[in-house]
Amino acid sequence: MDLQAVNNTLPEGFRSAFNYDETSEEYYLNMGPQHPSTHGVLRLVLKLNGESVIEVVPHLGYIHRGLEKVAENQTYLQNIHLTDRLDYLSSHINNLGYCLAIEQALGIGVPLRGEYIRVMICELQRIQSHLLWWGVCGMDLGAVTTFLYGFKERELITDIFEELCGARLTMNYFRPGGSFVDVPDTFIPRVRQVIEELKRALDEYNTLLTENIIFQERTRAIGILDSAKALSYGCTGSVLRASGVSYDVRKNDPYSIYDQFDFDVPIGTVGGSFDRYRLKMEEMVESIKILEQAVQSFPQGPHRSKERASYKLPKGSYYSQVETARGLLGTYIVAEGGPKPYRIKYRSPCFSNLHALNDMAVGHKIADVVTILATLDFVVPEIDR
Amino acid sequence: MNPLQTNTLYPVQNSIGDMVREIFPASAVYINGFITIISLLMLVSLLPVFLIWLERKVAAHFQARLGPMRVGYHGLLQSTADGLKLIFKEILKPEGADTFVFFLAPILPATATFLVMTILPFDHHMQVADPAGGVIYVIGISGLSILGILLAGWASNNKYSLLGAMRSGAQMISFEISLALIMLLIVMVTGTASLREIVLSQQGTILDWWIFKLPVLGSIAFIMYMISSTAELNRAPFDISEAESELTGGFATEYSGISFAMFFFAEFVNMFVSAGIATTLFFGGFLAPQIGIGFLDSVLDFLPGFFWFFLKTFLIIFLYMWFRWTFPRLRVDQLMYLEWKMLLPANILLLMVGGVFLALGWIL
């Protein structure tokens, strides 16, 4: 066998050497960028022995749009809508993270009603994102019905957003100092309705999927990530919390008025797929708790502090971090005093979580790679930016 | 003299058969044979069209939506339209595929299902043939469809297809053992392997059906039959050979047009056959569900046998669809574990206990 020729045709990026032994049953399988369960354009190259995974190499760049570079040529306000396109399932929270950095730089305060709106919208967004994830997670495991059930309740929240800012996915709603428009009168009644609906729906979801024995067998002890590894890879969000580390930006580094609300941070024990799944389900319950408190004490008053003619950040660097539906989103702005940023860097949770994929998947079956991908909950545009 | 008594092979002992025998006494055997084959072909080609529509409707209503509504009344003609589209589509063959095997593969499952259909007792005198070893024939012929799927995966020159084919090969061969053992239980208690006689052994009220006639064992055997036949049919939660979220399309990834439709059609007819055999073995086949009240029983008996056969079969098909749209999918190794370490020992135990019941006469 011509080893040189074989080596040239092997896929790149693998740390384990190719087994030239003729009895070896190793082969490579290309999963993605067009694959039903990589959700978007994530490409994985799997090295397999029969059905068992030996190594996974993710390939990025299929949806790279240069958002960080584009941001350098736009004014600070124009950049808000670009943050929608990072993790499109938590666009409100992305907006908030960016606005927080600007508020920090310019010392802009937010009126109490504005803060309440922010917290409520962010929690609604978190639930909305988790509902979609729940549906997709079930579908990846073969239970197609969950997909439509998840969307059914998600629609209620999306309707609220549509009435709020006209958009259903890329919101562009928050501004430095509050939000660009006040909430409509129907907002609070609709949130109440959503809370009621969700409590019923979550019970239904647990009966349909969580308590299903096949589902539990498929997820328990699959893709275990211990806390030391999770920390060293920089995992955040439910991936980190499932490994037993209690870290939630809302609790540990409270922004907006999260410190005024009473909610728990659920943590897992083993760090397997079922833990990650369970955490997300419990996070929805916690978000509902926050919403209930906020609805009770929703104040009157202005929704935004006084608008400025221009937003020019003084020279220096500014950092803010928020907890999106997937983990810690950091926004780092380097300013040189002009109307445009010198450099913007986003620290996206999915990118860090992706690193842990190989460690989790090794030794499992192909079907488990799908399970792990489903519970890691990737949004690919955030990985590539 | 012909050792194969053609008259007994295609008896067609109903009014149509008698009429043909009266008018053309010499060639009645061939005409009757021709008529049965044509009517069976029509059934085989119409069934999947209806079943696909039913599946889509059932799925839709499970998922809080309406499903096909546009083509025909409540979308009844939707699958006809889809089928026509598939027929007119270009048949693609991937580069490097084995042409002969690639095009042979879809024909095998379709053939197998058609052959099994020939011995299903639809009514008292509506059965193409009734071989004495009907149950064994069913087990033997349904093995053909595995061959088709294995060949399809091998010939496609695609890793996903190959993985799907290997999975389904392992799966179907293992679950066939369970299926055969369950059928054997019924054969043991009835003392006959002919499907028609198995049905006739359940005459009487509902309690004389084998699911109730064998106390407790009958229901357990039926549940086991449902599990192993779902696996045998490659349907969710055991659809690991297609597993669209893992293997995109499994063994059918590279198929298009009519060759894909053949697989698809065979799958649905297979579901009907499987449910039909469950009806025959456990639910008294074409017998009316009599409850022991004279007046009601005569009303129920008035309805033709094939009506009851189809009604029972479609109820079981609904069960299959219910499974599919509720459960998540098992993993390959879990599936094998289920069969070899749980179902198979349980089956053998069931067979032994069944023998004890039979010896002690504990049959209702």
pLDDT 10s digits, A8-27: 677 777 777 777 777 777 88
- Identify the burial level of B198 via C-beta atoms within 10 angstroms of its C-beta, where 0-12 means exposed, 13-18 middle and 19 or more buried: buried
Q: Could you identify the residue written with the tokens 């350098």?
A: A72
Cβ separation B328–A370 shorter than 8 A: no
> Given CB atoms, is A365 within the 8 Å cutoff of chain B?
yes
What number is the average pLDDT over the span B169-181? 87
A45 with A151, same domain: the answer is: no
Q: What is the ipTM metric for this complex?
A: 0.81
Residue in A with minimal Cα distance to B158: A29
How many structural domains are present in chain A?
2
A41 with A131, same domain: the answer is: no
A54 with A186, same domain: the answer is: no
Per CB-CB distance under 8 Å, the chain B contacts of A148 are: 63-65
Minimal C-alpha gap between B270 and chain A (Å):
21
What pLDDT band is residue B117 in, cutting at 50, 70 and 90?
confident
What pLDDT band is residue B148 in, cutting at 50, 70 and 90?
confident
Pick left, alpha or beta for residue B14 (phi over 0 → left; psi -120 to 50 → alpha; otherwise beta): beta
Amino acid at A41: V
CA distance A214 to B334: 9
A22 with A139, same domain: the answer is: no
A176 with A40, same domain: the answer is: no
Candidates B163, B325, B329; nearest CB to A141:
B329
Could you give the percent of chain A with pLDDT greater than 70?
A: 98
Candidates A35, A142, A368; nearest CB to B236:
A142
* B307, B308, B312, B317: CA torsion to nearest 10: -10
pLDDT tens across A176-225, in order? 888 888 888 888 999 999 999 999 899 888 988 888 888 888 888 888 88
- Residue A74: other Cβ atoms inside 10 A: 16
> Given CB atoms, is B330 within the 8 Å cutoff of chain A?
yes
- Count the alpha carbons within 13 Å of B293 in the hemisphere toward its beta carbon: 5
Cβ separation A148–B327 shorter than 8 A: no
Cβ separation A214–B329 shorter than 8 A: yes
Is pLDDT at B5 greater than 60 in this prediction? no
**Which of B55, B179, B43 minimizes the C-alpha distance to B113?**
B43
Q: Which 3 state secondary structure label does DSSP give A332?
A: strand
Cβ proximity of A312 and A341 under 8 Å: no
Per CB-CB distance under 8 Å, the chain B contacts of A211 are: none
> Given CB atoms, is B61 within the 8 Å cutoff of chain A?
no
> Given CB atoms, is A153 within the 8 Å cutoff of chain B?
no
Cβ proximity of A277 and A221 under 8 Å: no
Could you give the percent of chain B with pLDDT greater than 90?
A: 8
Q: Cβ contacts of residue B114 below 8 Å, gap of 6+?
A: B40, B41, B44, B269
Residue A369 lies in a domain: yes
Residue in B with minimal Cα distance to A138: B328
DSSP class of B287:
S
By mean pLDDT, which of A119-123, A282-286, A357-361, B144-148 is the weakest? B144-148
Mean residue pLDDT across chain B: 83
CATH of the domain at A153: 1.10.645.10
CA distance B82 to B90: 14
Q: What is the pLDDT of residue B317?
A: 92
Is pLDDT at A112 greater than 60 in this prediction? yes
Residue A334 lies in a domain: no
Amino acid at B153: G
Per CB-CB distance under 8 Å, the chain A contacts of B331 are: 217-218, 365, 367-368
A83 with A51, same domain: the answer is: no
Is pLDDT at B3 greater than 70 in this prediction? no
Per CB-CB distance under 8 Å, the chain A contacts of B67 are: none
Residue A66 lies in a domain: no
Residue in B with minimal Cα distance to A36: B245
What pLDDT band is residue A1 in, cutting at 50, 70 and 90?
low
- Going from the C-alpha of A30 to that of each of A8, A33, B243, the distances in angstroms are 17, 8, 16
Residue A229 lies in a domain: yes
Mean residue pLDDT across chain A: 87
Q: What is the pLDDT of residue B11?
A: 58
Residue A282 lies in a domain: yes
What is the pTM for the complete model shown? 0.86
Residue in A with minimal Cα distance to B61: A145
Cβ separation B326–A145 shorter than 8 A: yes
CA distance A244 to A229: 12
DSSP class of B249:
T
**Which of B287, B77, B142, B82 minimizes the C-alpha distance to B203?**
B287
Residue A178 lies in a domain: yes
Residue in B with minimal Cα distance to A148: B63
- Residue A2: other Cβ atoms inside 10 A: 7
A171 with A297, same domain: the answer is: yes
A150 with A22, same domain: the answer is: no
A178 with A49, same domain: the answer is: no
Cβ separation B245–A141 shorter than 8 A: yes
Is pLDDT at B250 greater than 90 in this prediction? no
Per CB-CB distance under 8 Å, the chain A contacts of B236 are: 142
A21 with A156, same domain: the answer is: no
Range of the structural domain that residue A192 is part of: 75-311+320-329+349-384
Residue in B with minimal Cα distance to A210: B328
